[in-house]
Each structure stands twice: as C-alpha cells, then as structure tokens.
Amino acid sequence: MAPPAAGRPSASAAPEPPLREAAKRRRAPACAGAGARILSLGVRGAVMVAALVLFLLFAAAAVILMLALLVAARGFRQQGRRRHRASPDSSTPPPPPAVGLPSAKIRLLPSFVPCPCDGGGDGSSSSPRICPVCLDAARAGERWRALPACGHAFHAACVDRWLLLSPGCPVCRATVSVPVS
C-alpha cells in the first residue's frame, strides 16, 4: 500500500499554486489506491470463488464415486443372487471351482495292479506298499496309479480324488503331466 502513504504528504502540501496538479496528484494516488483495493477485493473474491468451485467439484466427485460404488455393490449382490438362483438345488452348496485336473485327463494317467508279493515296488519286499493319501497298505486286486512326473504311487481312487482338486503330486507337489498317447 505504498501509493496512499506517498499521496498523503502531497495532500498536506496542497495549498501550493498549481492546484490542478496537486489535485491530480491527490486524486491519482487515491484512485490508484481504490483501484488496488478493488483489485485486491476482486482477487480475493476470485480466489474464494475458485476455492468454492474446487470444493464443489471435489464434493461432486466424492458423491459420484460413492454412487458408483453403491451401484457396483448392488450389481455384485444381484449377480450373487442370480448365481444362487441359477444353482439347481439351493440346499446343496455349489461345487467347488475345478482347479485340479479334469477327470478325463486323470483317467489317462498310467495305472497298475500291484502284485501281492511286490512290497515296496522296487524289489525289496520287506515293507508293504503304503498309499500316502489314506496310509493304507496295498491289497491284492487294488488298482494303483503312479504319477509320471515323480513316480509316486497311490491308490487310483485316492489320487484321482486328490487330482480333481489339485494338479500336483500329494507327496512332492510335482505338477502332474498327463502323458500324450
């Protein structure tokens, strides 16, 4: 606010002869001060309006976001309801997602019927063959399956059930690869 401060001393020296110039000097700073004040008021107003607009924009964005979230949540709920209705029998839970091997591929895995005289399967008949899934010993006539990836052997029924849920060997987690015949 330098102009009004500079203008006042000139106003005190007003009674000097060139009145018009003095008046001009008096008025010019006063006008400049008023202009600056109006300008500053305008700037303040503009800043306030800008802040208000920004605030409103943020509020609108927040409201839109909330609405979008609500709509998405409703959509998910409706989808869930539709899925629930789509299931043939609502009393039985829907089947778990198939992340294991398809049964058609499991059937292609090599199977064998171990000989009762065959103990560990490697010629040493000291200990009977044990299924790692059910911990039951091999009995005559049972069908077994050996996984081609790692050679681990199980009851066919035990490992088939396992492989429907998980594509890895129950013992060493080796990925079971179906032989292409």
| Nearer Cβ to Zn ion (21/136) | 136
CB of 73 to Zn ion, least distance (A): 44
- The angle subtended at Cα 87 by Cα 95 and Cα 71, nearest 5°, is 105
**47 by DSSP, 3-state: which?**
helix
- Residues facing 109 on adjacent strands: none
Give the shortest CB-148-to-Zn ion separation in angstroms.
Answer: 10
- C-alpha span between 68 and 83 (Å, rounded): 22
Q: 115-134: which residues touch Zn ion (CB under 5 A)?
A: 131, 133-134
Work out which of 11, 22, 36, 171 binds Zn ion, going by CB under 5 A.
171
150 contacts Zn ion (rule: CB under 5 A): yes
Q: Are 119 and 153 in contact (CB under 8 A)?
A: no
Query: Is 172 a binder of Zn ion (CB under 5 A)?
Result: yes
* Interface residue list for Zn ion (CB under 5 A): 131, 133-134, 150, 152, 155, 158, 169, 171-172, 174
